[in-house]
A and B are shown apart, each in its own frame.
Chain A
Amino acid sequence: MLTVDSVVKTFGRRRAVDRVGFTLTTGEVLGFLGPNGAGKTTVMRMIAGRLEPDAGKVCVGPHDMVRARRAGQKMVGYLPEGAPAYRTMTPREFVGFCLSVRGHSGPQLRDARELALDRARLGREANQQIGTLSKGFKRRAALAAAIAHDPPLLVLDEPTDGLDPNQKHEVRALIREMAADKAIIVSTHILEEVPAVCSRVIVIDQGRIVVDEEPDDFAARARSGRLDDAFRSLTRPSAEAAS
């Protein structure tokens, strides 16, 4: 479903992503971990077709995300970092807007929109202006827009950031529910999410992949068997060097 082939991205003199490569198949939920500034968001933006790699390539299905960007983007649902959305729209209007840009119309658009709003548990807030919603509901609105066209690949940049424990539980349940027929990438700083939803973990540090394995194998790297200890032992040297 997804092939990331040795992609490189440089901003100014800083190499944000350095020859990152992996593949993802349908049914996999990939936990994308790494310290702040490690390059996770940049990789996700390249997968979503928002950013072009300087070298290497990203293919979604058979589509190269530079040469056949729009065909590839039809197959991707992307929840950007911070879940941006138009403040004067309601979630219902926002999801409808994203669907109509994607070419949906009439009953097909209506059905897809209502299903997405329902799955993201927006409830009555679906008709309230996004600018007046809490952070959690804003995130759900953006999540609904990302899943509405039923894409085979989902790229979710910190989908549970700012949610309360109940909302986090619901989003994780939704990810598990969708996992069977989709390939999903979830970036997160919340390590407890990894065993809860992910079937695979990639840790990225200073733009490079340092771990690509199953969550249990990753946890086993620490003597305590805890994910946060494994994460710290892998990424602390670079964090200390940076500080």
Chain B
Amino acid sequence: MMVSTAGFFAIYRREMRAWFTTPLAYVFLAAFAFAAPAFAFNIGRFFDTNRADLSPLFAYVPWLLMILMPALAMRSWAEERDRGTLEILLSLPVSVSSIALAKFAAAWTVALGALVATFPMWISVNYLGSPDNLAIAIAYLGAFLLAGSYLAIGQALSAASGSQVTAFVLSMLATLLMTMAGLPLVTDSLSGTAPALLVEALAYSSVLERFSAFERGVVGLGDLIYFLTLIGFGIAAGGLQAGASREGGT
């Protein structure tokens, strides 16, 4: 995989600029900054737990990311194709891997901004009590990796889709499957009909299962590799799909 530094940074800056010269990123950040605490306070009963931690927030973060990351990922390749600018990008002397990495890095930066927008809650729990800040930082790291995984998969589907709407719907379905795979609701309903090994594998590969370790303040090497593999797979799949248009002509 060849990555051109100049190409990467130029495309990263253009992507970031594209986010922030339209209201899109601001709407996205505001939506996340409002919705995440709203879930934590109203459904997670933040104050009723009587604990100085952010578990009511992190319990709902995967579900919010499941909706918002596909919205962030849908435009990455589909918009380039819609507007004909993929023609410009692919005629520049830059590798498709640089383009894919830059697009991912820019969207991941916006996702990081969304997570940072919830920091007032972290500051609040420090004001109210003495939380385990290392555990909270690890939970944020997990949420960041989870956001990256959803984004990478979403961008791969954006590269494979003809339109942004199709990309959004497909990404939502994919992230929904990835999130729900390990839930008792799914595993219990499958346990009677599907082979036990498959049910176990499904539960093992669920992002919720992996994220729960981070929520508890534990960084497992396996969990880290799991998320990084998902991210790498998504970026590579998106790049390969976009690069394949050199052969197919679309």
Select from chain B the residue with minimum beta-carbon distance to A104. B6
Select from chain B the residue with minimum beta-carbon distance to A44. B91
Q: How many angstroms from the CA of A97 to the CA of B11 in the assembled complex?
A: 8
Contact call B88/A80, Cβ cutoff below 8 A? yes
Q: In the complex, identify which listed stretch (A47-55, A191-199, A202-210, A212-220) lies at the interface while the others stay far away.
A: A47-55
Contact call A51/B83, Cβ cutoff below 8 A? no
Q: How many angstroms from the CA of A85 to the CA of B83 in the assembled complex?
A: 8
How near does chain A come to B123, taking the closest CB pair, in angstroms?
Answer: 34
How near does chain A come to B18, taking the closest CB pair, in angstroms?
Answer: 6
Which residues of chain B from 1 to 28 have any CB-CB distance to chain A below 8 Å in the complex? 4, 6-7, 9-11, 13-14, 17-18, 21-22
Contact call B91/A84, Cβ cutoff below 8 A? no
How near does chain B come to A105, taking the closest CB pair, in angstroms?
Answer: 7
B216 at interface, CB cutoff 8 A: no
Contact call A101/B91, Cβ cutoff below 8 A? no
Contact call A73/B93, Cβ cutoff below 8 A? yes
Contact call A98/B92, Cβ cutoff below 8 A? yes
Contact call A51/B246, Cβ cutoff below 8 A? yes
B94 at interface, CB cutoff 8 A: yes
Which B residues are in CB contact (< 8 Å) with A100?
6, 9-10, 13
B48 at interface, CB cutoff 8 A: no
Q: How many angstroms from the CA of A102 to the CA of B6 in the assembled complex?
A: 7
Q: How many angstroms from the CA of A189 to the CA of B11 in the assembled complex?
A: 34
B87 at interface, CB cutoff 8 A: yes
How near does chain A come to B103, taking the closest CB pair, in angstroms?
Answer: 13
Number of B positions contacting A (CB below 8 A): 27
Q: Which residue of A52, A71, A89, A103 contacts B247 across the interface (Cβ within 8 Å)?
A: A52
Q: How many angstroms from the CA of A51 to the CA of B249 in the assembled complex?
A: 6
How near does chain A come to B168, taking the closest CB pair, in angstroms?
Answer: 20
Q: Which residue of B4, B14, B90, B246 contacts A86 across the interface (Cβ within 8 Å)?
A: B14
Contact call A97/B14, Cβ cutoff below 8 A? yes
A88 at interface, CB cutoff 8 A: yes
B85 at interface, CB cutoff 8 A: yes
Number of A positions contacting B (CB below 8 A): 35
Once A100-B10, A101-B6 are accepted as A-B contacts, the answer to whether A84 and B95 lie under 8 Å apart by CB is no
B222 at interface, CB cutoff 8 A: no
Which residues of chain B from 148 to 171 have any CB-CB distance to chain A below 8 Å in the complex? none
A40 at interface, CB cutoff 8 A: no
Contact call A97/B91, Cβ cutoff below 8 A? no
B84 at interface, CB cutoff 8 A: yes
How near does chain A come to B181, taking the closest CB pair, in angstroms?
Answer: 37
Select from chain A the residue with minimum beta-carbon distance to B10. A100
Q: How many angstroms from the CA of A98 to the CA of B83 in the assembled complex?
A: 17
Which residues of chain A from 45 to 101 have any CB-CB distance to chain B below 8 Å in the complex? 45, 48-52, 69-71, 73-74, 76, 78, 80, 82, 84-89, 93, 97-98, 100-101
Contact call A98/B88, Cβ cutoff below 8 A? yes
Contact call A102/B247, Cβ cutoff below 8 A? no
Q: Which residue of A9, A16, A102, A105 contacts B92 across the interface (Cβ within 8 Å)?
A: A102
Once A88-B21, A97-B10 are accepted as A-B contacts, the answer to whether A9 and B249 lie under 8 Å apart by CB is yes
Which B residues are in CB contact (< 8 Å) with A49?
90-91
Which residues of chain B from 197 to 250 have any CB-CB distance to chain A below 8 Å in the complex? 246-249
Q: How many angstroms from the CA of A76 to the CA of B90 in the assembled complex?
A: 12
Contact call B7/A88, Cβ cutoff below 8 A? no
- Return 22 A-B CB contacts under 8 Å, by A number: A45-B87, A45-B91, A50-B90, A52-B246, A52-B247, A70-B94, A78-B91, A80-B87, A80-B91, A84-B83, A85-B88, A88-B17, A88-B22, A89-B14, A93-B17, A97-B10, A97-B14, A98-B88, A98-B92, A101-B11, A102-B92, A103-B7
Given contacts A74-B93, A78-B91, 14 further A-B contacts (CB under 8 A): A11-B248, A42-B249, A45-B91, A45-B249, A51-B249, A52-B246, A70-B94, A84-B88, A86-B14, A86-B18, A89-B14, A100-B13, A103-B7, A145-B88
Interface, chain B (partner A; CB < 8 A) = 4, 6-7, 9-11, 13-14, 17-18, 21-22, 83-85, 87-88, 90-95, 246-249
The 3 A-B residue pairs with the shortest CB-CB distance in the complex, in nearest-first order: A84-B84, A100-B10, A73-B93
